[in-house]
Amino acid sequence: MHHFFYHDGHMFCEEVLVSSIAESVGTPFYLYSHATLKHHFITFNKAVSDVPHLICFSAKSNSNLAILKLFASLGSGLDIVSGGELYRGLKVGIPPHKIVYSGVGKREDEIEFALKSSILMFNIESFQELEAVNRCAKRLKTRAQIALRVNPDIDPRTHPYISTGLKKNKFGICMNEAKEAYQAARRLSHIKIIGVDCHIGSQVLDVEPFMDAFKRLKRLIEDLQSTGIEIRYLDLGGGLGITYDHELPPHPNEYGKAILKTVGDIPVTLIFEPGRVIVGNAGILVTRVLYVKIGEKKNFIIVDAGMNDLIRPALYDAYHAINPVKKDKDATFIADVVGPICESSDFLAKDRRLPRVEPGDLLAVMSAGAYSFTMASNYNSRPRVPEVMVKKDQFYVIRKREDYEDLIAGESIPEFL
């Protein structure tokens, strides 16, 4: 469910004309629906309400302060992968005891920042990281609460770049090494074991891979508890997919039933790290047509948004539906939608049947709420675009458009030049 719709041929976000926002803030820009964000969070939370749980929204999917603040007001914690994401979470008032720190490359300064902030736990990804966390905790005269991220070698049947639960992936500790790793953690003086963690991938469209992974985790917890290692938390990660094109992902209720069936009877608190399923379809990227180029073999719609604004199509060959902001043309043609970046990979869509647009027309790149602005860059010295949130009949700029001065902030020219 989302709140982007047409009325009399005009696209609305909730009660606001998308075209009126474009006239006010310029293009391109990201646009989020407050009602959609709230509805998706509440729906997911309700789907897992039959088990003791904590939702830790995945900051990497969308880390805008306004969005994090909204989820914090709904009781969310945060799944972070950097010191910067921790800073953002604390800035909006997310309680540290609801923050889990994932990621394979935690620096010691980031680890110390998290320890000083008293986060819930670190999801440890390797033996050397375990030693680093212990070393930092010893230096600060504290104990670090940890879970080990276990790699269950489950094929999530998703794009290889967003698969994380196979043996060949860089994430986690292999299942057959997990018991040894837990015993090693047990021997460290400044480590406190409190959980088990797993994340098999992103944009997963079937509950079966989840169920297979959860069954393996359940056996591991039973084995650990038989050796006297108490597990209080089972972090099941995120990964539930959304509809970009014609996909039919499981509803959160189906996912919740799978949880109950596989690990619902374990006496632990379950941690969920949803990201895309909450924010993906709650946002769009609005862009303006600059030129239309008719070629012998290819037609091109050249727009003012590029791969620096939305890199998913170039990076994953990801599909995003593209719709006109105003439906006033019956004629269609097949074209690539491309941006102004000097790379052949700078495209938002390929061989797409679209209305015969003209310069100045607005297009909406749909399902752009997750892994979109957070992956934006200043490539080609392009200022990053603004982010806007609509609530009912009002819109709010929640991140201003960068200007040229922002591009060079922090740079300096040595005196010898």
Cβ proximity of 300 and 293 under 8 Å: yes
Output the pLDDT for position 171. 63
Output the pLDDT for position 165. 39
Residue 350 phi, psi (nearest 5): -125, 140
CB neighbour list of residue 226: distance below 8 Å, 6 or more residues apart: none
Instruction: Give how far Cα 13 sits from Cα of 212, 283, 293, 329, Å.
Output: 39, 10, 30, 21
Record the pTM: 0.94
Output the pLDDT for position 214. 87
Nearest to 78 by CA among 55, 103, 51, 53: 55
CB atoms within 10 A of CB 214: 24
Instruction: Give how far Cα 263 sits from Cα of 233, 235, 270, 273, Å.
Output: 12, 11, 9, 16
Measured distance CA(75)–CA(15) in Å, rounded: 27
Output the pLDDT for position 166. 42
Is residue 393 classed as helix, strand or coil in its secondary structure?
Answer: coil
Query: Which residues are catalytically annotated?
Result: 342
Output the pLDDT for position 343. 95
Output the pLDDT for position 156. 52
Measured distance CA(151)–CA(197) in Å, rounded: 9
Output the pLDDT for position 24. 98
Is residue 81 classed as helix, strand or coil in its secondary structure?
Answer: coil
Question: What domains can you pick out in the chain, each with its CATH number?
Answer: 4-32+281-408 (2.40.37.10), 34-279 (3.20.20.10)
Output the pLDDT for position 175. 83
Measured distance CA(234)–CA(231) in Å, rounded: 8
Is residue 192 classed as helix, strand or coil in its secondary structure?
Answer: strand
Output the pLDDT for position 248. 86
Residue 118 phi, psi (nearest 5): 60, 50
CB neighbour list of residue 48: distance below 8 Å, 6 or more residues apart: 55, 252, 255, 256, 259, 270, 272
Q: Where are the alpha helices (DSSP H) in 187-303?
A: 207-226, 252-263, 276-279
Measured distance CA(248)–CA(262) in Å, rounded: 22
Output the pLDDT for position 153. 73
Question: Running along the chain, 417 residues long, what does each successive block of 10 average in pLDDT?
Answer: 91 98 98 98 96 97 98 98 98 98 96 98 95 98 97 62 44 83 95 94 83 89 92 93 88 91 91 96 98 95 98 95 95 97 97 97 98 98 98 98 98 98
